[in-house]
Amino acid sequence: MEKVGENVVKIFIDGIGDVYFNLQKYSTTISEEHKFIYYFDAEGRFMGGFFDGVSYRRGLDNRLMKKFFDKDGSKVKIFVGDEEKRKVIEDVIERVLKIRDALSGNEHEVLERLDEILKWDYKQLEKDGIKFFSVYKPISILPPDQYFSLVLQPAEGCSWNKCTFCSFYQDRRFRVKSPDEFLNHVKKVKEFFGRAIGLRKSIFLGDANALIIPQKRLVELIKIIHDEFPIGKSKNGFDHVFDGIYSFLDIFGAERKSYDEYVELRDLLLKRIYIGLETGDANLFKYLNKPGSPDGCVEVVQTIKSAGINVGVIILAGAGGKKFYEAHVKNTVETILKMPLGNGDIVYLSPLVLDEADEYVRIMNELGSETLDKFEMAKQIQKIKEGLKGLNKLGVRVTLYDIQEFIY
């Protein structure tokens, strides 16, 4: 056994070659000759891997996402079927078993990790995926910088649920949990994650617009979070600290909160609010059937920022198709530039996915607007980024938000 880096050891194993073990506090990564790489959380659950140019991510609900580049260089992201999922997971477990059997017995820390991993077989991981749904409603989407947050659901669903392009929460009714029910949910979340909770860096309030919860109840629910988790400071029983609280909010919901209420939320360590502007073009905005308006979005961002909370503003790339192409680019760039964005703010560009956007497709057909192809989409994203390039100097990140890559 050779130490080759902080927390990384290398062991030569006959029939495999050099195997690297990256023993992080809350995760273990095993790399066979840097060709087969797979990783696990602190409870030993398989989380994902890279195998010969194909990458896999296992969600806590036991779905498995596969990503690879096809012949023309496009990135493909799909959820694999049960058969392939079982094959991939069982192959990984077999590999770990083979490595475990080949070790001499002196590699104590490595052995401990492998034994933790080998507590799980495919059936148990499948069961764990079912257990996930006794704790959570499906986690439909998160902003990319929050993929490794700890999601808590003080509310379920979307209070509006009628945007023509969005189908994320159509499977559930909007409802807010009572303090007792929420505390129970939090306890179940803790139990579900176990030690793997240490991998989570922030708290994300689900679902689509949790901050719309009336302020008094919202504060009550956030105080439960502070009682139960170390946020911004350490707490007994935890050996890590969450950096803050994050949430989505729609424009209309954001307009209903006052400056003082945002200040109260900032003091409760709410760090960033993610708002879907989608487009700065008021005409196109109407066809999206979002509540509020682009000007309203500028105003709420001003209020939120002046209260000391960062924002993540989401733009729907490709919205409106060819008919709105120029207006969408021009007015979106202008609208974003009216916002007082700075360090810690993010502008996300989410390429429009039409799979379940039936109402949006119907409206665009009626208007005779064709969908952008992938080259036109890439060009539009480039143009919007170009228009916003001055923001980079201010510390604002302008980056992609691909809803098809999301898995929790």
Ligand X SMILES: C[S@@+](CC[C@H](N)C(=O)[O-])C[C@H]1O[C@@H](n2cnc3c(N)ncnc32)[C@H](O)[C@@H]1O
Q: What is the binding site for ligand SF4 (CB under 6 A)?
A: 158, 160-161, 163, 166, 168-169, 208, 250, 276, 290
Q: Which residue has the tokens 């198709």?
A: 321
* 270 binds ligand X per the rule CB under 6 A: no
Q: Residue 143 contacts by C-beta under 8 Å, 6 or more apart in sequence?
A: 246, 248, 274, 312, 314, 346, 348, 401
What are 357's two structure tokens? Answer: 């956007």
Are 272 and 248 in contact, with CB atoms under 8 Å apart? no
Cα–Cα dist 227/68, whole Å: 42
What is the DSSP pairing of strand 36-41 with strand 46-51? antiparallel
Closest approach of Cβ 294 to ligand SF4, in Å?
14
When the beta carbons of 210 and 381 are compared against ligand SF4, the nearer one is 210
Closest approach of Cβ 358 to ligand SF4, in Å?
13
Cα–Cα dist 327/26, whole Å: 47
Closest approach of Cβ 168 to ligand SF4, in Å?
5
Q: Residue 324 contacts by C-beta under 8 Å, 6 or more apart in sequence?
A: 279, 281, 283, 284, 369
* 352 binds ligand X per the rule CB under 6 A: yes
Footprint on residues 315-334 left by ligand X (CB under 6 A)? 316
357 binds, among ligand X, ligand SF4, none (CB under 5 to 8 A by kind): ligand X
* 248 binds ligand X per the rule CB under 6 A: yes
Closest approach of Cβ 275 to ligand SF4, in Å?
9
**Total of residues contacting ligand X (CB under 6 A):** 20
Closest approach of Cβ 42 to ligand SF4, in Å?
32
Segment near ligand X (CB under 6 A); pick from 57-65, 68-76, 227-235, 270-278: 270-278
* 157 binds ligand X per the rule CB under 6 A: no
When the beta carbons of 110 and 166 are compared against ligand SF4, the nearer one is 166
When the beta carbons of 210 and 341 are compared against ligand SF4, the nearer one is 210
Closest approach of Cβ 307 to ligand SF4, in Å?
22
Cα–Cα dist 353/140, whole Å: 14
* 242 binds ligand X per the rule CB under 6 A: no
DSSP for 86-128 reads HHHHHHHHHHHHHHHHHS-S--HHHHHHHHHHTT--HHHHHHH
Q: Does residue 267 have a cis bond before it (omega within 30 degrees)?
A: no
Nearest to 1 by CA among 19, 28, 16: 19
When the beta carbons of 274 and 285 are compared against ligand X, the nearer one is 274
Residues in touch with ligand X (CB under 6 A): 141, 158, 165-166, 168, 208-209, 248, 250, 274-276, 278, 314, 316, 350, 352-353, 357, 403
